[in-house]
Structure 1
Amino acid sequence: MEPRLTLITLGVADLDRAVAFYRDGLGWPTRYKAGEGVAFFATAGTRLALYGLEALCEDISPETRPAKGFSGITIAHNVRTKEEVAAVLGEVERAGGKIIKPAQDVFWGGHSGYFTDPDGYYWEVAWNPLMPLDEAGVMSMPK
C-alpha cells in the first residue's frame, strides 16, 4: 500500500451548519450547493469532506452508532508563523468554533492551540519550526 492520505470525512449533525462554519466562517473553498449530500473542501494535499453523521454511520455498517465525546483523533492545521496560531484561533472563534486550548508554546518546540468545530471535532492549530510548510502549504518531513 502506498502511504497516502487523500480524504478526511467528518460525520456532521447538520450539513448546512457545518458547511457555513468551514466555508463562510473560515473561508475554505467548496463547490457545495444546498441540498447536496456531501461537501468537499479543497485544501493543500488532503481533502476534507462533510457528510451527514447518520448517513456516514449507515455507510459504514447498519450497526454503527455515533460516538460521544473525544474519539482520540485530532486534525491539524499547520501555519507558517508562530503569530498565525493565535490569529487563526481568533478567526475560528469568530466563526463559531470553541477554543479548547489557547495559543501557547509547547514542549516539542512549536506553538499551538486547540479548538472544536460545531460538531465537536478537535482541531490543532500549530506552528512547527521542525516541519515548515513549503510554498504550496505542504509540510516537510522532520530532518
Structure 2
Amino acid sequence: MILAMSELPSRLSVVTLGTRDLPGLRRFYRGLGWEEIPSSDDEWAGFLLGGVLLALYPVDELAAEAATAIPSPAGWSGITLACNVDSPQQVDAAFTTAVAAGAVAVADPVDRPWGGRSAYIADPEGNRWEIAWASGARFDDRGALTGFGS
C-alpha cells in the first residue's frame, strides 16, 4: 500500500538524543530549569519543550532500533537542535545560563548575516544546540513555534 503524503503529518513531535550517560544528561537539562515529564527515570527521560518532546534514551538501545542498517558516522553527526528565543538579548542570557549549567561553549553569541543573532553550545554528550533569535519567529502562549519568516 502506498501512503498519500497527507497521511504523514508535517510536524515534529519528538527529538530523541541517544545518550551514553542518561542520568548525567538528565541532570544537565534539569539544571537548565527544564521540567521533566512525570514518567522520566534513568532508563528514559523526556522534557516537553514548546510542543516538542526532547527524549533521552540509551544510545545502544536507540542504535538497535534506529541504526541497524546504516553505520553511525564518526564525530559530529551534522545535526543541531535549536531553541529560538524572543529577543537578541535573550540569546546572550540563555547562552550564559547554559554554560553555567555545564554546556560547552561552541560559538559565542553573534549577529548573523541572515539578520538574526545566535550562539552554539554542546550539552555534556556533545549534542549541538543553537540558541537563536530570528525576527520572523512567532510563538503561541505555550512557546510552540507557529510561524517563521516575514
Same-fold status (TM-score > 0.5): yes
Q: What is the TM-score with the length of structure 2 in the denominator?
A: 0.86
Write out per-residue CA displacement over residues 80-120 of structure 1, whole angstroms, 9 at most, x where no aligned residue: 11111111111111111101110110011000000111111
SS class of match (2:130): strand
Bigger share in strand: 2
Structure 1 gap ranges (5+): none
Distance 2:83 2:102 in 1: 17
Alignment match of 1:137 (pick from 122, 143, 146): 143
1:7 is matched with which residue? 14
Structure 2 gap ranges (5+): 1-7
Write out per-residue CA displacement over residues 1-21 of structure 1, whole angstroms, 9 at most, x where no aligned residue: 210110000001100000000
1:93 is matched with which residue? 99
Whether the aligned pair in 2 keeps the contact of 1:57 and 1:64 (CA below 8 Å) is no
Alpha-carbon deviation of 1:138? 2.2
Q: Which has the larger radius of gyration?
A: 2
Q: Does residue 112 of the first structure (1) align with residue 128 of the second (2)?
A: no
Aligned pair in 2 of structure 1 residues 74, 61: CA closer, same or farther (>3 Å)? closer
Give the superposed CA RMSD: 1.7
Where do residues 53-92 of structure 1 align in structure 2 (5 Å cutoff)?
53-62=59-68, 66-92=72-98
Whether the aligned pair in 2 keeps the contact of 1:53 and 1:66 (CA below 8 Å) is no
Aligned pair in 2 of structure 1 residues 61, 137: CA closer, same or farther (>3 Å)? closer
Q: What is the TM-score with the length of structure 1 in the denominator?
A: 0.90
% identity of equivalent residues: 35
